[in-house]
């Protein structure tokens, strides 16, 4: 590890009121927009910051903003942001007295929290014991039952075989959710529609959970197919105060990951809202919780059911800040410094309405949401009233393929929900991210939809009811390089079939080039030989740049249309690639661990 001193910002007297006076330097064990958010909050309250970074993030915005930076090395997250020993050593070497984990990575890792405190440092979050109980979803279900919090049918022990999934489905019905026991955010989650999907779903959920959270344990829940996803923000201090601070609706999701969130959750009866908040407080009190946390529920037919508790600051916390006029990161600093909460009464009345749109580097054409890393040529943020943009990037930065795809979060406040919707649509029109495809078109489609205005949505609404524009036609250079312009590649992603345009070999090579060789100006691309075969002929192509993490067939295997042949991981998302025809597999050109470009041919299936 190498230490890079940064110019120290002018320091004030500490967090307002001296509430974090005992914190003088904090290491931020994260990256991207949440690291930037924390570093800026620290500077505002007179606390020095230390950034950590991988080799790929050496010039990242959070590194540039921090007072000091420590290089952890490597590119894959298990070499840096998930390495407990390296991070604790960095905190000790730089003289930090506290560590803020942000969200994701090690934020809900009990061993990390304990390692930080064992090193004599303050962990800005709950205790390792609370994380262990509530972060381990099976144990959290047991606590929820003891605290009289309603929950959907689920297992109270981890599952290890597909037969257990089939038995659960036979008893409680399908669909069944297979979920990571030690994580959240949709990572390590698969939905099983019937017995035949159990084997693949279990293997995929375990693999993704292990990669994202360092633990492959999973459990089961009955999946409510017509529910809304509503969560309650809770906070607790070391003085025995536990409060709930409003709620958020997070139902607009794709692949179980949120796209649009809002606060307060619209259309909830006051008594239901209050019951959810009180249940969240009971749950937090039962485990002696300290710090920021979120209790997530599914709401269906006027009833709510415990889903999970996230023992960290939540991605969508800014919408709560917007309607309550609070700084939840500053509140975390207060609690970590041993001070009481600034708000001691649960359920403060929200002022107006706030909406957050996650702006990710993903191509939404045809509803695919394909991760699309690359350089950001220009980033221009609207400056209209009530608009905030939390980002880990600025113009000229690169979205690397090794981590998640989030560029930033557009947060918009209005005096009422209708105004917030109109203002968000206007801000989306003005937000410019040039260089990579983004989820801006998807966010526009959501907010302009009458179902969204009428609060007629569920967690499955986005993928089942919202229409997305088709993929663009092949660019002119593709026509020049291959006369077969009409051919198309067919792929299966996440269990759904898509028709995507022929990928120009020049674009594929450009996606594979290291950042230093890519053009940041004209967008010109180097030429390459060959092209992926067309889907109609049985060719199986990768829908995105990524890493092959599973090859399920060998040459000569007989397969059926829709069968999973490969799994490609890109930006922390697993993407099953399926055969489009019945036939025989041949010409497998990749192995586990290979990095492939968008449109690369993985194999050929000779039609039966």
457 and 486 within one domain: no
What's 591's domain CATH number? 2.40.50.100
What's 178's domain CATH number? 3.30.1490.20
Domain-terminating residue out of 124, 144, 179: 124
Question: What value does the mean pLDDT take over residues 255-265?
Answer: 93
Rounded Cα distance between 243 and 328, Å, is: 13
Q: What is the pLDDT of residues 146-201, one digit of tens each?
A: 999 999 888 878 899 999 999 999 998 899 999 887 766 567 789 899 999 999 89
133 within some domain? no
235 and 189 within one domain: no
Supply the pLDDT for residue 120: 97
Question: Phi-psi bin for 117: left (phi > 0), alpha (psi -120 to 50), beta?
Answer: alpha
How many domains in the chain?
Answer: 4
137 within some domain? no
147 within some domain? no
321 within some domain? yes
- Tell me the Cα Rg of the chain: 24
236 and 206 within one domain: no
Q: What is the pLDDT of residues 263-289, one digit of tens each?
A: 999 999 999 999 999 999 999 999 999
238 and 217 within one domain: no
CB 65 within 8 A of CB 71: no
Instruction: Specify the long-range contacts of residues 203-206, CB closer than 8 Å, at least 24 apart.
Output: 204/567, 204/574, 204/576, 205/178, 205/179, 205/180
386 and 520 within one domain: no
**β strands within 121-227, DSSP E:** 122-123, 176-180, 190-192, 218-222
Choose the most confident range, by mean pLDDT, from 167-171, 323-327, 597-601.
323-327
Domain-terminating residue out of 171, 200, 222: 222
586 and 513 within one domain: yes
146: part of which helix (H) or strand (E)? helix 137-146
Provide the total of helices (H) and of strands (E) in the chain, helices listed first. Answer: 17, 33
**Percent share of the chain, pLDDT over 90:** 62
Supply the pLDDT for residue 571: 67
Question: Phi-psi bin for 449: left (phi > 0), alpha (psi -120 to 50), beta?
Answer: beta
What's 9's domain CATH number? 3.40.50.20
DSSP collapsed to 3 states, 522-544:
CCCCCCCCCCCCCHHHCEEECCC
Rounded Cα distance between 371 and 278, Å, is: 39
Rounded Cα distance between 440 and 428, Å, is: 7
Give the CA-trace dihedral at 25, 30, 34, 37, to 10 degrees.
Answer: 20
Helix residue ranges per DSSP H, 179-262: 198-213
282 and 232 within one domain: yes
CB neighbours of residue 39 within 10 Å? 28
316 and 269 within one domain: yes
349 and 322 within one domain: yes
**β strands within 237-301, DSSP E:** 242-254, 257-263, 291-300
Tokens of 591: 């192995």
**Model's pTM, two decimal places?**
0.76
174 and 248 within one domain: no
276 and 212 within one domain: no
Rounded Cα distance between 318 and 217, Å, is: 31
521 and 589 within one domain: yes
CB 597 within 8 A of CB 544: no
Question: What value does the mean pLDDT take over residues 375-404?
Answer: 95
CB neighbours of residue 524 within 10 Å? 10
The mean-pLDDT minimum among 118-122, 230-234, 438-442, 572-576 falls in 572-576
242 within some domain? yes
What's 344's domain CATH number? 3.30.470.20
Q: Which of 399, 495, 490 is nearest to 439 (CA)?
A: 399
Domain-terminating residue out of 193, 222, 251: 222
**Percent share of the chain, pLDDT over 70:** 84
398 within some domain? yes
CB 375 within 8 A of CB 437: no
Q: What is the pLDDT of residues 404-453, one digit of tens each?
A: 899 999 999 999 999 999 999 999 999 999 999 999 999 999 999 999 99
132 within some domain? no
Q: Which residues contact 167 (CB under 8 A, 6 or more apart)?
A: none
Parent domain of 310: 228-465
DSSP-assigned letter for residue 352: S
DSSP collapsed to 3 states, 84-125:
HHHHHHHHHHCCCCEEECCCCCCCCCHHHHHHHHHCCCEECC
Q: Which of 493, 491, 518 is nearest to 502 (CA)?
A: 491
140 within some domain? no
**Has residue 371 got a pLDDT over 90?**
no
């Amino acid at each position: 590890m190498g230490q890079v001193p940064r110019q120290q910002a002018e320091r004030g007297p500490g967090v307002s009121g001296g509430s974090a006076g005992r914190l003088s330097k904090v290491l931020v064990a994260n990256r991207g927009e949440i690291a930037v958010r924390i570093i800026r909050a620290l500077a505002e309250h007179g606390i020095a910051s230390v950034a950590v970074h991988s080799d790929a993030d050496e010039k990242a915005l959070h590194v540039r903003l921090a007072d000091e930076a420590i290089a952890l090395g490597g590119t894959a997250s298990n070499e840096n942001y998930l390495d407990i020993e390296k991070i604790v050593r960095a905190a000790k070497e730089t003289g930090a007295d506290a560590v803020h984990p942000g969200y994701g990575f090690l934020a809900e890792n009990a061993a990390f929290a304990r390692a930080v405190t064992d090193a004599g440092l303050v962990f800005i979050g709950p205790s390792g014991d609370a994380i262990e109980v509530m972060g381990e979803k099976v144990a959290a279900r047991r606590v929820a039952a003891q605290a009289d919090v309603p929950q959907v049918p689920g297992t109270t022990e981890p599952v290890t075989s597909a037969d257990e999934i089939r038995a659960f489905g036979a008893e409680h019905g399908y669909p069944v959710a297979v979920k990571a026991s030690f994580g959240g955010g949709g990572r390590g989650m698969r939905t099983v529609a019937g017995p035949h999907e159990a084997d693949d779903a279990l293997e995929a959920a375990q693999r993704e959970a292990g990669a994202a959270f360092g633990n492959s344990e999973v459990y089961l829940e009955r999946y409510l197919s017509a529910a809304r996803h509503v969560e309650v923000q809770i906070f607790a201090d070391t003085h025995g105060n536990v409060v709930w601070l409003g709620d958020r609706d997070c139902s607009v999701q794709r692949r179980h990951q949120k796209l649009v969130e809002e606060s307060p959750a619209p259309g909830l009866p006051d008594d239901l809202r209050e019951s959810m908040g009180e249940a969240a407080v009971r749950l937090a009190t039962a485990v002696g919780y300290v710090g920021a946390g979120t209790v997530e529920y599914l709401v269906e037919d006027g009833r709510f059911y415990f889903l999970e508790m996230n023992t960290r600051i939540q991605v969508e916390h800014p919408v709560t800040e917007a309607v309550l006029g609070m700084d939840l990161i500053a509140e975390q600093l207060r609690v970590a410094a041993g001070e009481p909460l600034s708000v001691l009464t649960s359920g403060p009345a929200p002022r107006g309405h706030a909406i957050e749109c996650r702006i990710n580097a993903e191509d939404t054409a045809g509803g695919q949401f394909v991760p699309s890393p690359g350089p950001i040529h220009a980033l221009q943020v609207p400056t209209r009233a009530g608009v905030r943009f939390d980002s880990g990037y600025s113009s000229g930065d690169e979205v690397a393929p090794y981590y998640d795809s989030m560029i930033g979060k557009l947060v918009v406040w209005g005096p009422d929900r209708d105004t917030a919707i109109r203002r968000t649509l206007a801000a989306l029109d003005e937000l410019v991210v040039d260089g990579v495809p983004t989820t801006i078109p998807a966010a526009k489609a959501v907010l302009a939809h009458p179902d969204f205005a009428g609060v007629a949505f569920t967690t499955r609404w986005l993928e089942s009811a919202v229409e997305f524009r088709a993929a663009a036609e092949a660019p002119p250079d593709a026509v020049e390089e291959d006369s077969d312009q009409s051919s198309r590649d067919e792929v299966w992603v996440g269990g759904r079939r898509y028709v995507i345009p022929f990928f120009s070999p020049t674009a594929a090579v450009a996606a594979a080039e290291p950042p230093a060789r890519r053009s940041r100006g004209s967008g010109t691309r180097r030429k390459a030989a060959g092209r992926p075969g067309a889907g109609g002929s049985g060719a199986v192509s990768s829908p995105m740049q990524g890493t092959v993490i599973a090859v399920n067939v060998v040459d000569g295997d007989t397969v059926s249309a829709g069968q999973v042949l490969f799994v490609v991981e890109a930006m922390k998302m697993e993407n099953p690639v399926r055969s489009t025809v019945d036939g025989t597999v041949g010409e497998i050109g990749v192995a586990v661990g290979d990095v492939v470009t968008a449109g690369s041919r993985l194999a050929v299936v000779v039609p039966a």
